[in-house]
Amino acid sequence: MSPIAIGIHGGCGTPDRALLPEHDWTQTRAHLADALRSAWDVLAGGGSALDAVESAVAVLEDSPHFNAGHGAALTEAGDHELDASIMDGATTEAGAICAVRRIRNPIRAARAVMERSDCLLIAGDAADRFARQAGLAIVDNGYFTTERRRQALASLKARARRGTIAAASEAERHGTVGAVALDSRGNLAAGTSTGGFNNKPPGRVGDTPIIGAGTYARNGVCAVSCTGQGEIFIRHAVAHDVWARMRYAGETLKQATDAQVFDVLSAYKIGAGLVAVDAAGRVVAPFNTLGMARGWIGPDGAMHVATHKEVERVSVLERA
């Protein structure tokens, strides 16, 4: 039986455990587990890596605990602009949307761009119109807002007035969600979704919708979804470089991802993380911050979730 695997992340901007009530952490881990189960059900039933990735990311987009979809970051204007991308490792086809304001699940729109248009990336109002015409769920922009994001925006604006913006924590600034999967036919896929960073200028686009920067998948090697300061990820084509290190330099998945997170990206003094899976179903989720919401199910069916250093083994799931 061919291996299957799923890995997810909820962004490297995880705050100190003491800053949120334990109920919030419990619910965050529960929503990670929900995303993993939704993807595993797809894979265990013989479904595609693309379907599994889309399913997992959509669950995270619907949760208020992550910076994507409902719970997305606010721009400096106090509203939301969201980005997402998805890539099929079997064909290297991909789709992406950026700076959208009305699409409930941006990951579904990214896939629709890949499968129902001649484009790879559609931006702004045009992407919102495309999603509506494709029959996807459309919501008011205020749907994405949560009290936690309002507080984060107020905190950053106050820091800006005091001239202490550089001291802002990763939790105040950034956040992303993503998923990678390997299906029973050996196909890989990756997807990423974000609200960007808190207090970002309207129109700013980071690495999430840029194929090769925030998202990359190619059969036989790996699938990658990234989180962190997108401008640096774009400059270093981080997701693609993980693939290139493995393909051309013969590095293992762990070697390639550790080199990016702990060497290349850490040199810029930025928070960074990613989740990746290789062709054998090995999943890694390195990060250089206080924490990173994450989870995975390997070929053995064991589900693990975490928000900080400690990892919880939740259960063992069966294949159909």
Section 81-109 average pLDDT: 98
Domain CATH code at residue 218: 3.60.20.30
The total of other beta-carbon atoms located within 10 Å of residue 237's CB is 18
From 176, 194, 208, 257, the catalytic residue:
176
Nearest to 308 by CA among 293, 286, 296, 297: 293
- Cα–Cα distance measured from residue 258 to residue 266, given in angstroms and rounded to the nearest whole number: 10
pLDDT at 79 over 90: yes
* Helices 106-116/124-133 angle, 10° precision: 80
pLDDT at 70 over 60: yes
pLDDT at 158 over 90: no
The domain containing residue 76 runs over which residues? 5-316
pLDDT at 254 over 90: yes
Q: Provide the whole-model pTM.
A: 0.94
Asked if 176 is an active-site residue, the reply is: yes
Degrees, nearest 5: CA angle 259-262-264: 65
Section 118-141 average pLDDT: 98
Per-residue pLDDT band at 120 (split at 50, 70, 90): very high
Per-residue pLDDT band at 172 (split at 50, 70, 90): low
Tell me what pLDDT residue 163 has: 63
Range from 38-47, 64-73, 158-167, 194-203 carrying the lowest mean pLDDT: 158-167
pLDDT at 258 over 90: yes
205-253 pLDDT tens trace:
999 999 999 999 999 999 999 999 999 999 999 999 999 999 999 999 9
- Cα–Cα distance measured from residue 278 to residue 72, given in angstroms and rounded to the nearest whole number: 29
Partners of 100 in the beta sheet? 82
**Average pLDDT score over the chain:** 93
- How many domains, the chain? 1
Per-residue pLDDT band at 161 (split at 50, 70, 90): confident
